[in-house]
Structure 1
Amino acid sequence: MSATIKILMVLTSQATMGHDPRPTGVWFEELATPYYAFIDHGAAVDIASIAGGTIPIDPHSLEGDASKLPSVERFLHDPVAMRKLHASLKVEQVSATGYSAVFLPGGHGTMWDLPASAPLASLLSQAWAEGEVVSAVCHGPAGLVNVKDATGRPLVAGRHVSGFSDSEEAAAGLTDKVPFLLEDRLRQLGAIYEKGPDFQSFAVTDGRLVTGQNPASSAEVARRVLQVVAGQP
């Protein structure tokens, strides 16, 4: 993998479940696992967020077994990575030009600020128009719902996608907390939604669009992103 390959990761800046004070943010596995998949393959990775600056981390993603994942431990002890996390670029100040792929990690925070961000929608439309890979995992596809392709149609319309399923949201007990159900919204936009068993790895590649269902899908989505960037079928 050439070191000239650049990947932009865009994260949520939303620290609470809307008006509910319950803390949220990015799900750490969905940041750390793809980050090192890209880094270890020689890519340069920039981290941006909707508001810029320090990115909120969902505290639940640093509890129990989740905190023991090798990628999470590595990230937490990596001063370069942590500096990027605390000094993220502001999305409206970033251009898609020069990147090979844009990747949207999930976490419930994404459900509020990613769909509401016109700069993010513009950046992703630009990335798509310039032939880049557009990718997302778990709740990250919430950032795709207002993205248009060159014809003005929703980017996901007629394309195979995945994302956090309705049944997984119900299992998490958050169906009535999120502003919309991601699976439902993707279907409403004309996406061909696909899913695997709840909380097990499942990812979909449709040309330059790569999406995954849940945190367990993070590694597979990253692998597919690198595969598409390399021009492999």
Structure 2
Amino acid sequence: MNTGNIQKRVLLVMSSVDEMGISGKQSGTWFTELAAPYYILTEAGYEVVFASPDGGDAPIDLLSMKEPFTTGYTERFLEDPVALYAAKNTRKLRNIDYSTFDSVFFPGGYGLLWDLASDSFVIKLIKDFYESNRPIAMVCHAPAILRDVKLSNGKYLVEGLNLTGFKDAEDNEIELDKHLLFSLEQELKRRGANYKSVANWEPNVVVDGVLMTGQSPASAAPLAEALAEVLSK
């Protein structure tokens, strides 16, 4: 699908949830997975629009704002009034005509397991982007949103596709596995995905057609660079 946009547009979808169920643990979007694509894609000449289910101030995971998880991108974001304003004033996702966007990028973080992964609007959005051949980029926990996405033919979107995402061993290492609603790795395998991972926390980007996935926070920048390259064609 060609949107006809002279300047390509990327819809960046954040979670509106700031806690992990009833555990009391704070969550939200993982900071570098928001900051890296924002700068990489805008500097490549694309328009990036932040959206979230509730609109407004989308929460950022506090842990991801501390060492050793900060990056040059996060430090720059904190000094950037335009970027900060965008994150605090996200568009309400349901009010957006996503047919006008050339691509969608989902940063990770744990919050999305509680809202985006079961949001019927988001599930339809991914199906529509996939079936209209527009790139879908997802990093870290974001591929969990694919769990319930079915295509028009009734098959799970991930069936037979190569992809990656945050692995069980990484959740276990930071002792958050017991607080999660479900395991990304197990659920996507159950749906027939060819799940591929590398060592914990290492960058890993897997591209299969228009689906582009990254395993860990370190994958956010290379994933955004891969998307920028695809959009340049």
TM-score when scaled to structure 1?
0.94
Give the Cα separation in 1 of the matches to 2:128 and 2:22.
32
Q: How does 1:27-38 map to 2 (within 5 A)?
A: 27-38=30-41
**In the alignment, what sits opposite 2:118?**
116
In structure 2, give the amino acid aligned to 1:107.
G
1:3-59 deviation digits (Å, cap 9, x = unpaired)? 611001001111001111110101000000111110110000000012111111111
Percent identity of equivalent pairs: 35
> For residues 64-103 of structure 1, what are the alpha-carbon distances to aligned partners after superposition, in whole Å with 9 as ceiling and x for unaligned?
1333x21111111212111111111111112221211101
Q: In structure 2, which of residues 188, 192, 195 is the aligned counterpart of residue 193 of structure 1?
A: 195
Separation (CA, whole Å) in 1 of partners of 2:6 and 2:124:
27
User: Offset at 1:229?
Assistant: 2.2
Corresponding residue of 2:87:
85
Q: Give unmatched runs, 5+ long, in structure 1.
A: none
Match of 1:98 among 87, 97, 100: 100
1:25 maps to 2:28: yes
Query: Counterparts of 2:79 and 2:203 in 1: how far apart (Å)?
Result: 26
- 2:171 is aligned with 1:165: no
**Is the contact between residue 165 and residue 183 of structure 1 (CA under 8 Å) also seen in structure 2?**
yes
Distance 1:141 1:94 in 2: 22
Assess if the C-alpha contact under 8 Å between 1:208 and 1:228 holds in 2.
Answer: no
Q: Partners of 2:44 and 2:206 in 1: how far apart?
A: 21
Aligned to 2:148: 146
CA deviation map 1:189-225 (0-9, x unaligned):
1111001111010010001100000101001111111
User: What is the DSSP-based 3-state SS (H/G/I as helix, E as strand, rest coil) of the residue aligned with 1:102?
Assistant: strand
SS of 1:143's partner is: helix
Which of 15, 20, 23 is 2:18 aligned to?
Answer: 15
Alpha-carbon distance in structure 2 between the residues aligned to 1:153 and 1:93:
28
Aligned residue for 1:55?
58
Deviation track 1:91-143 (CA, whole Å, cap 9, x = no partner) reads: 11122212111010001111111112111111111212222101100001122
- Where in structure 2 are there 5+ consecutive unaligned residues? none
Does the 8 Å CA contact 1:96/1:124 hold for their aligned counterparts? no
> 2: distance between equivalents of 1:52 and 1:15?
13
**Alignment partner for residue 44 of structure 1, among 47, 63, 80?**
47
Match of 2:76 among 51, 68, 74: 74
**Aligned residue pair count:** 229
Task: Output the amino acid matched with 2:33.
Answer: E
CA distance in 1, matches of 2:81, 2:157: 36
2:224 paired residue number? 222
Cα root mean square deviation, aligned:
1.3
Match of 2:182 among 180, 183, 204: 180
SS at 1:103's partner residue?
strand
